[in-house]
Structure 1
Amino acid sequence: MDPRIREHAETIVEHSTGIEAGDDVIVYLPGDAEDLAVALHELLGEKGANPLLLTYSERVERAYLRNSDEFDTPEHELALYENADATIIARSGPNPSEKADVDPETTAAYNRAHDPVKKARLDTTWCLTQYPSSGYAQLAGMSTEAYEEFVYDAVTLDWAAQREFQENLVEILDDASEVRIRAGEETDVTMSIEGNTAANDYGEANLPGGEVFTAPVKHSVEGEVHFDMPLYRQGREVQGVRLTFEDGKVTEFSAERNEDVLQGVFDTDEEARYLGELGIGMNDAIDQFTYNMLFDEKMGETVHMAVGSAYPMCVGEGNEVNDSAEHVDMILDMSEDSVIEVDGEVVQEDGEFIFE
């Protein structure tokens, strides 16, 4: 076995999830990640944990979605997560575009029905990571070998040092009331974060980590955003997304390519039109766009915003938690002609923080 796989598994078990004896752990992996499953089960056995291996296939999911008309919440799956202590999930597979021909309305209906399952999974100690496959390498425009190096370098970062660096921004945001983001000629948006909390993502729930994120006050977002980096969703590339916010809500939207995918997101439920997350990428080790949000949203010199659900841990007492079946991140480049202001003071200009 590639020793990097063992190191990856050790990071998941020791750092990301902190598995202990007696923990009931769901390991949810695609079939091509068997080596990671083996390494994880060796470590979980040494810990005295109780693993349950589930496998998934994008091809199988496509077959189900294309032949279903209605969806109910799967109570057996819900019970599984309600009785678990931890969940480990890895993305992989031979074809990231497998579900490109699934109707966005079908996906929206499926997400609504599975929203309780998603919430139960998020109530466990969870880690989402990536197993490098040739399909995702091709999506990133990289050789398989280069992509493996990219993934393993990203997930085995010095997370203690990354945490310390990101804590500078956490301290700024935790005391803040308003954030304004300007980029180019088409992005100028303000939002309140009064009373909410910033989270330091250093490789726990997401592996790799490398961002600081918070939740906007629901009805406070005002302005326009041009997301100049693509969104890859349902196996399709959505380009040139533009959103207009009024009283926190998306009142106008467009995309230069595959706008129907975006329409499906906003048709999922009313709360999908509100912003649930503001995230600031701070991981300079991720230096290439790969069409994989797990990595791309962590890139240094970027900002991402997610329409849909907010993370409750970021929402302060008295503020409303935006509750949606969707959580869709979109990214904008902040490397030039851009500014992040916090309470009127510049915190980042053209990708460089004031504390660097």
Structure 2
Amino acid sequence: MDSRIRDHADVIVDHSTDVQAGDRVVVSAPPAAEDLAVAVYERLAEEGATPVMLAGGQKLYGEDRASRAFLRTVDTDDLAEPEHLTALYEETDVAIRIRAPDNATEQSDVDEETNAAYQRAVKPTREILLSTRWCLTQYPTAGAAQLAGMSTEAYEEFVWNAVNKDWETQREHQEQMVERLDAADEVRIVSGDETDLTMSVAGMKTLNDYGEHNLPGGEVFTAPVPDSVEGEVLFDKPLYHNGREVEDAFLRFEDGEVVEHSAARNEETLTEILETDAGARRLGELGIGMNRDIDRFTYNMLFDEKMGDTVHLAVGMAYAECVPEDREPNDSATHVDMIVDMSEDSRIELDGDVVQRNGTFEFEEGFEG
């Protein structure tokens, strides 16, 4: 077995989920990720954990052929919480999900209304899942390499460089931005002539994602005060959502709510996302990518949102960990990230001070305030 696969398994079990003896672990993995699943199972045995395997890389939102068949056939009135899956996760300490996509467009002919209805149905299950020590990661496949425009060998190198790294050093690097965001009241994001967005983060908590849940990690993120977002943003990196590519998504906010939107391609997909529920028209997340080993766009949000020189914003659900106990997080059945390229003619301001210009942070070499 490739030593990089065993290293990947070590990171999942030791760093991302900190598996202990007696932990009840659910592992979801499709056949294409069998080598990584085998390595993870060996490590779980060494730690004295009790694993259960869900074949097919079971995903609450559906991405494989079976999920597609179900979503294309089901009457949306029959969609309901999968209470048996909820019950499983209620008894779970650690949930590990390994993606290994072979066809990124498998869901492209499932209508967005059905997808949105399914998101609403599985929301209670997802909330229980997120209360475990969970980790989402990816095994490199030829299909994912093709989508990224890379050879399989080059894509494998890309994935494992992003995953198998010194996460403590990455944590320390990102903590500098966490401290700045936690001390700030207002964030302003400017990029070119199309993006000028302000929001309050007063009282919110910034989380340091260094591979504990998403693997790879490499971002810091927080939740905006829901009604504080004002201005316009053009997401100049494509959004790949349920097999559909949305290009140049544009949002205009007033009093925290999307009041205008458009897209150069697949605007109807963006519309359906925003119509999921009332919370889908508000921002649930502000994230800043800081993983310099992710240096190219691959049409895969798990990697792309961590890319250095980017900011991502998510409409929909806010992570409760970012919100003080005396406030209500933005509630939605959806959470969709979209990316702004900050590498040129761009800046991030905190309370009027520039902390990143053209993708370079104030604590990095080459910063020009």
What one-letter code is carried by the residue in structure 2 that aligns with 1:206? Answer: N
Of 259-268 and 240-249, the range deviating more from structure 2: 259-268
Matched residue type, 1:341: E
Residues 225-304 of structure 1 aligned to structure 2 (within 5 Å) = 225-304=233-312
Aligned-pair distance for 1:261? 1.2
What corresponds to 1:181 in structure 2? Answer: 189
1:317 shift after superposition: 3.4
Matched, 1:66 2:72: yes
Task: Tell me, in whole angstroms, the C-alpha distance in 1 between the residues paired with 2:18 and 2:218.
Answer: 19
Q: Distance between the aligned counterparts of 1:196 and 1:79, measured in 2?
A: 32
**Aligned match of 1:212:** 220
Mapped to 2, the partners of 1:6 and 1:279 lie a distance apart of 30
Matched residue SS, 1:51: strand
Report how far residue 299 of structure 1 moved. 0.5
C-alpha offsets along residues 112-169 of structure 1, whole Å, 9 cap, x if unaligned?
Answer: 0000111111010000101111111111011111111110111011111111111110
Once the two structures are TM-superposed, the CA of residue 355 in structure 1 deviates from its matched residue by 1.0
Alignment partners' CA distance in 2, 1:317 and 1:92: 37
Q: Partners in 2 of 1:320 and 1:55 — Cα distance?
A: 36
Does the CA contact (< 8 Å) of 1:218 and 1:320 recur in 2?
A: no
Cα distance in 2, alignment partners of residues 352 and 115 from structure 1: 37
Which aligned pairs between 1:324-335 and structure 2 lie closer than 5 A?
324-335=332-343
SS in 1 for 2:332: coil
2:121 is the alignment partner of 1:113: yes
Structure-2 residue corresponding to 1:46: 46
Q: Summarize deviations over 1:79-123 as a string: whole Å, max 9, x none.
A: 111110010011113211111110010100010000011111101
**Aligned match of 2:23:** 23
Q: Structure 1 residue 305 and structure 2 residue 310: aligned? A: no
Looking at structure 2, the residues matched to 216 and 333 of structure 1 have their Cα atoms a distance apart, in angstroms, of 20
Aligned twin of 1:200: 208
Partner residue, 2:344: 336
SS for the counterpart of 1:278 is strand
Is 1:221 the counterpart of 2:229? The answer is yes
CA drift at 1:67: 0.4
Aligned-partner Cα distance in 2 for 1:256–1:302: 20
Which residue matches 1:191? 199
Partner residue, 2:327: 319
**Cα offsets for 1:225-248 (capped at 9, x unmatched):** 000000111111110000011111
Q: How does 1:81-160 map to 2 (within 5 A)?
A: 81-160=89-168
Which deviates more from structure 2 when the two are superposed, residues 89-98 or residues 171-180? 89-98
Between 198-207 and 317-326, the greater mean CA deviation after superposition: 317-326
CA contact (8 A) 1:195 1:317 kept: no
Paired with 2:149 and 2:244, the residues of 1 have a C-alpha distance of 15
TM-score calculated relative to the size of structure 1 = 0.99
Contact 1:176 1:194 survives alignment (8 Å)? yes
Q: For 1:114, what is the secondary structure of its paired residue?
A: helix
1:344 positional shift: 0.8
Residue 56 (structure 1) shift: 2.1
CA displacement, residues 39-87 of structure 1 (integer Å, 9 cap, x when unaligned)? 1110101111010000226111111110001201111011111110010
Task: Measure, in 1, the Cα distance between the counterparts of 2:348 and 2:327.
Answer: 23
Matched, 1:35 2:35: yes
Provide the rounded CA distance (Å) in 1 between the counterparts of 2:346 and 2:102. 37
Question: 2:8 aligns to what?
Answer: 8
> What stretches of structure 1 of length at least 5 have no aligned partner?
none
Q: How many pairs does the alignment contain?
A: 356
Which residue type is aligned with residue 11 of structure 2?
T
Give structure 1 regions of 4+ aligned residues with deviation exceeding 3 angstroms.
none
The amino acid of 1:328's aligned partner reads V
Q: How far apart in 2 are the matches of 1:4 and 1:302? A: 27
CA distance, structure 1, for counterparts of residue 254 and residue 90 of structure 2: 37
What secondary structure does 1:287 align onto?
coil
TM-score w.r.t. structure 2 length?
0.95
Give distance in 2, aligned partners of 1:31 and 1:233. 23
Extract unaligned runs of 5+ from structure 2.
Answer: 58-63, 365-369
The counterpart of 1:350, out of the listed 335, 353, 358, is 358
Distance 2:256 2:284 in 1: 10
Equivalent AA in structure 1 for residue 252 of structure 2 = T
* 3-state SS, counterpart of residue 356 of structure 2: strand
Identity %: 62
